């Protein structure tokens, strides 16, 4: 069995709901997926494999054009609108295990978050490697709105989505509310420890890695795309 340190997964399924062929959008004469491939190649680890998990032959050809070997395609059943990350991760781990390759760590780099700092990624990787208790580390930022002021509808009436010991926390000034953090799609490292199947990607002990500014951009609609193009100039 060949033991590798790091599996870098770039998930890029077809049939995006909001933007057609989102992962192949032309951004400064390069497909969006190119920027995740580019940063993956810069990660310093001689025992790494970069893999694009896709159900699309078109995306496969584009990724291979930029030097990524894709020995297997993601099954369509793991590439639906409601498919979970754990599905494509376990599919990749299983297929590589069949090829006698196992990994200690895994990293997800989503094409929809193309503005990244290699310095931050390397730093986060080292932090996870040194922390025995941690299961994963993910990029987070401060949210624009505090979720303690967020509501759901219950039988036609508003109900706070979160509970708190603070009386009517939804009417309280933000300064006394608990600090909250918003996960971004910039990166997520997690421990695999040479297994072929995970029950959870993040695990129970999740370390935060704070990012800010343009690195927090995530492409979900055309408005985000405009912000991305502005951000990549800065």
| pLDDT of amino acid 111 | 94
pLDDT class of 176 with cuts at 50, 70, 90: very high
For 195, other C-beta atoms within 10 Å of its C-beta total: 13
Which percentage of the chain shows pLDDT scores above 70?
96
pLDDT class of 230 with cuts at 50, 70, 90: low
- Please state, in angstroms and as integers, the Cα–Cα distance from residue 50 to each residue in 46, 66, 70, 203, following that order: 11, 11, 9, 23
- Within 13 Å, how many C-alpha atoms sit on residue 53's CB side? 30
The three-point CA angle 7-12-13 to 5° equals 125
Is 111 within 8 Å of 36 (Cβ atoms)?
yes
pLDDT of 233 above 60: no
pLDDT class of 94 with cuts at 50, 70, 90: very high
pTM for the full predicted model = 0.92
Higher-pLDDT residue of 223, 58: 58
Please give the DSSP secondary-structure letter assigned to residue 184: E
pLDDT of 234 above 60: no
pLDDT of 16 above 80: no
| pLDDT of amino acid 138 | 98
Nearest to 149 by CA among 138, 161, 137: 161
Is 227 within 8 Å of 157 (Cβ atoms)?
no
According to CATH, where is 3.90.550.10 located in the chain?
2-142+181-231
pLDDT of 144 above 70: yes
DSSP states of 201-227: SS-S-EEEEE--GGGG---SSHHHHHH
| pLDDT of amino acid 125 | 98
d(C-alpha 233, C-alpha 215), whole Å: 13
pLDDT class of 232 with cuts at 50, 70, 90: low
Q: Give φ, ψ of 13 to 5 degrees.
A: -80, 165
pLDDT for 96-105, tens place per residue?
A: 999 999 999 9
d(C-alpha 67, C-alpha 61), whole Å: 10
pLDDT of 75 above 80: yes
pLDDT class of 15 with cuts at 50, 70, 90: confident
CATH class of the domain defined by 2-142+181-231: alpha beta
State both tokens at 73: 């395609």
pLDDT for 180-225, tens place per residue?
A: 999 999 999 999 999 989 999 999 999 999 999 999 988 877 777 6
d(C-alpha 178, C-alpha 43), whole Å: 35
């Amino acid at each position: 069995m060949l033991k590798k340190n790091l599996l870098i997964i770039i998930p890029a399924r077809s049939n995006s709901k909001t933007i057609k062929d989102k992962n192949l959008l032309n951004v400064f004469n390069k497909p969006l997926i190119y920027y995740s491939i580019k940063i993956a190649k810069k990660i310093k680890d001689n025992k790494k494999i970069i893999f694009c998990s896709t159900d699309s032959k078109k995306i496969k050809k584009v990724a291979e054009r930029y030097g990524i070997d894709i020995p297997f395609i993601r099954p369509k059943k793991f590439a639906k609108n409601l498919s979970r990350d754990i599905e494509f991760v376990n599919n990749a781990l299983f297929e590589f295990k069949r090829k006698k390759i196992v990994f200690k760590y895994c990293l997800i780099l989503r094409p929809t978050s193309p503005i990244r700092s290699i310095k931050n990624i390397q730093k986060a990787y080292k932090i996870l490697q040194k922390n025995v208790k941690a299961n994963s580390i993910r990029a987070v930022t401060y949210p624009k709105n505090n979720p303690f002021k967020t509501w759901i509808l219950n039988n036609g009436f508003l109900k706070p989505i979160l509970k708190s010991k603070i009386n009517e926390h939804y009417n309280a000034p933000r300064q006394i509310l608990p600090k909250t953090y918003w996960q971004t799609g910039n990166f997520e490292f997690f421990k695999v420890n040479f297994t072929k199947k995970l029950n959870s990607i993040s695990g129970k002990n999740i370390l935060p890695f704070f990012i800010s500014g343009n690195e927090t951009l995530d492409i979900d609609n055309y408005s985000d795309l405009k912000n991305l193009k502005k951000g990549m100039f800065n």
